[in-house]
Structure 1
């Protein structure tokens, strides 16, 4: 599979985001890609809650989702929308951080709501309380594509390896980890955690990321990555917006799992015995 990765600096206008997504689909297809991967929050990044409330709508009304589905069908391209902010259809929080896999006919093949929510206070003074606005997901999701089974996750999920154990145990050979990582946490942990997820699952990691200074004032780390099952970095997009490409070779999965059969050796563990 020739994978296209979109590294973007999403703003506060979903209509502009929709145009950017359509352009990315058309360009990726024109440059020979089989599937496009986009970052977390591909429709809207806005920490002004009052302003964002006017732009976050139900899934059926989201202009970015509708435009991307139409463009994918026209281009004959699969698309993984890393996530969109949409109105929640369950729980007590108003919104869901939801990823979508769209096939080459424009149909939605899978949805995934981000399970682990980012509630932290950083030494820089940044404070984030994702759980104030977003309901956590309650399902682990993988989807079959023509190139293998794709396990879905979003951003902060990266720090919880049990999710990726479950996905690889379910047969995922590719792991999508779209993100909008902060700069401090990105500098400290982004590369090492992404490589760890690839190595421990002996699977490809495809991590499309937000980058740069955004209209709402935040800064994101960038460095969209594609990592092979041995942990080698095939693509690092640095700090520029645009499209990058990487080849996903299924033979590398069998090679890595043959050299170190981590999935075959993985064992379910019981309660911890604490000696006193």
Structure 2
């Protein structure tokens, strides 16, 4: 059997690498890095990769809205979800000393959860923000300065033979990111699955309430709902929702059929899948 080609955004060793390992345990996987999330989606669309592993929501910072939008407009499906605890390290070159660090490179997400630690560093280093962990690694290696450090996962340090100057530097230890595994075809995950959908409602009083009743009346748990602007219709919105139960469950199927027929001018099922939290 050939390798499973898995697209992801970023660099080897970042938290997405942990998500890939968790999503495909003990399998022969070939992780393929891309510069942007859209390129990772397109690699699956174009059959250059079998799957993409994409971060969708962080427990502290909320949803990654651009990735939800990509999923809504691509004809791809969620086939699995994994939860990855997020821990950060202060990483430097092999000869770096923490008390001599004068510049720390980080991406905005890491900065927001490590700001307290940085404020307490002895040298009060300057902060340089870049787009992602790949940019942090590239800048650290290009600077080749032992007084420069970056924030990233311990696995990044191991992969690039860098030095961990301090570990678990995040201000809030209970930090988890949900990653979705994206594929070209939907699956039936069995009775333990959940379903994600996106839909619009009519513009009239009670429209969203009536849409949600299709789940409440059937005792289907709505575990998430979030509104996002429609890009081509200013100040109009679409709704992303997670519900307990797969599309193959007759109760869920009936609720979705009623939603589409009576309450949602537009709806798309983004997938039914198993969520792996441990």
Q: TM-score range by the shorter chain?
A: under 0.3
> Which has the greater radius of gyration?
2
TM-score in terms of structure 1 length: 0.23
In terms of fraction of residues, the more strand-rich structure is 2
TM-score in terms of structure 2 length: 0.23
